[in-house]
Amino acid sequence: MSEEAQRYADEVTAGPGGAMTDEVGVVTGDLTVVTTRLPDDRATVRVQYTGAEEWYTLTGGPVAVPPDGLEALHAGVLEAVRQGGEAVVPGP
């Protein structure tokens, strides 16, 4: 049985209304999204404008890693960002 990855990263285009961050409010356009497992079995999500240096925390985290795993949480985050509407980290 293989161990689940501790970090997932993908590029996504934010839908209308973008994604809400703790530091700068809404970010829009082409984003890189990284979901990372923390030592306490929670996860944090960071976003950046693709190709930029600055990273921002997606509002709503950290959250508990769901029973179906970090990959499922990351997929949910990507879908939320694609939908836009000031997307935040999906809760349980």
Q: Give the amino acid at 31.
A: L
Helix (H, G, I), strand (E, B) or coil at 70: helix
Using one digit for the tens of pLDDT, what is the confidence trace for 23-73? 999 999 999 999 999 999 999 999 999 999 999 999 999 999 999 999 999
Task: Report the alpha-carbon distance of residue 13 to residue 28 in Å, rounded.
Answer: 8
* Phi then psi dihedrals of residue 79, to 5 deg: -65, -40
* pTM for this model (two decimals): 0.92
Strand 25-27 with 30-37, pairing: unpaired
